[in-house]
């Protein structure tokens, strides 16, 4: 696999980052995941804006090298060859020789870009296949989930707990209110109206979330961004997850309980997935 590291395209086996990088010592890094379809990046400028916002919020200077990000990504795209790919762009505060909590103001950010084959959404191939399995969990993450940080311990911790069953996604809630998935945003449908947690909550402003809200509005489907209590799960006709790699995928099981199947012919998620095309 070809990767980009600080201005150079290298074979991944040649890419070396110092252990003194603050991403290693302090977990100080932000990232983006950008999908491509048929060799074309999808929603590139939206991802770039969020990357800029994550950098600003973490006081990491915007690296000049990122001004030609799109070009670099297309170069990697050609070299890695897959038709559809997901690009991971990671920017850290940089390498600091002398360990101190206070970062040296002159260090340069580290930029690393890799890509992998983007699997076709299995629900696009077969919308009738069984939906995802999710587990509800108390949200133990920090209170700045609006920043897309590589410090994802809170998101992945329970995935590694051997006493817990393997699931496709964890749905985080706090104080009785649903926030988002560990790696996705969440949508609910009740009586033909769509609901999703508001950006005022502690969630990532998903690029796919925003794109879907736009599609819903353009197609005159009511959408509300508001607080969603846990009980809403039992009252919903559909629950779906969205992300740059998942697009839209439905949930069928929460905490091992199968959600009742309702109106399968006219499900809104299927319509939105078709509109995605």
Q: Which stretch binds ligand PDD (CB under 6 A): 76-84, 156-164, 182-190, 268-276?
A: 182-190
What's the min distance (Å) between Cβ of 102 and ligand PDD? 28
User: How many residues contact ligand PDD, by CB under 6 A?
Assistant: 15
Active site residue 148: yes
What's the min distance (Å) between Cβ of 182 and ligand PDD? 6
**Residue 249 is a binding residue for ligand PDD (CB under 6 A):** no
Residue of 139, 180, 237, 247 interacting with ligand PDD (CB under 6 A): 180
What's the min distance (Å) between Cβ of 2 and ligand PDD? 20
**Residue 185 is a binding residue for ligand PDD (CB under 6 A):** yes
Spatial distance between the Cα atoms of 101 and 239, rounded to a whole number of angstroms: 42
**Segment 72 to 131, residues that bind ligand PDD, using CB under 6 A:** none
Residue closer to ligand PDD (CB basis): 131 or 206: 206
Q: In the 3-class helix/strand/coil scheme, how is 170-199 assigned residue by residue?
A: EEEEECCEEEEECCCEEEEEECCEEEECCC
Spatial distance between the Cα atoms of 248 and 242, rounded to a whole number of angstroms: 5
Residue of 209, 237, 238, 273 interacting with ligand PDD (CB under 6 A): 209
Dig out the tokens for 191 from the structure: 């009586």
**Segment 33 to 52, residues that bind ligand PDD, using CB under 6 A:** 33
Catalytic residue numbers read 148
Question: Which residues are near ligand PDD by CB under 6 A?
Answer: 33, 155, 180, 183-185, 204, 206-209, 242-245
């Amino acid at each position: 696999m070809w990767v980009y590291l600080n201005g150079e395209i290298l074979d991944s086996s040649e890419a070396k980052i110092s252990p003194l990088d603050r991403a290693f010592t302090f977990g100080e890094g932000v990232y983006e995941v950008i999908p491509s379809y048929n060799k074309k990046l999808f929603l590139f400028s939206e991802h770039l804006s969020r990357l800029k916002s994550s950098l600003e919020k973490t006081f990491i200077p915007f690296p000049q090298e990122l001004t030609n990000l799109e070009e670099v990504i297309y170069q990697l795209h050609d070299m890695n060859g897959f038709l559809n790919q997901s690009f991971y762009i990671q920017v850290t505060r940089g390498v600091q020789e002398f360990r101190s909590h206070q970062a040296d103001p002159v260090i340069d950010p580290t930029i690393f870009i890799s890509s992998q084959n983007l699997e076709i959404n299995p629900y696009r191939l077969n919308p009738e296949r069984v939906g995802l399995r999710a587990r509800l969990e108390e949200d133990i993450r920090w209170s700045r989930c609006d920043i897309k940080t590589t410090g994802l311990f809170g998101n992945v911790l329970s995935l590694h707990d051997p006493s817990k069953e393997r699931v496709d996604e964890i749905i985080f809630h706090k104080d009785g209110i649903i926030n988002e998935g560990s790696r996705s945003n969440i949508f609910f449908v009740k009586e033909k109206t769509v609901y999703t947690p508001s950006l005022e909550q502690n969630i990532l402003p998903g690029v796919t979330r925003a794109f879907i809200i736009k599609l819903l509005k353009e197609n005159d489907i009511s959408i509300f961004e508001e607080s969603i209590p846990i009980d809403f799960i039992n009252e919903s006709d559909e629950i779906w997850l969205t992300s740059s790699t998942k697009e839209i995928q439905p949930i069928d099981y929460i905490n091992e309980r199968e959600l009742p199947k309702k109106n399968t012919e006219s499900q809104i998620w299927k319509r939105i997935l078709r509109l995605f095309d």
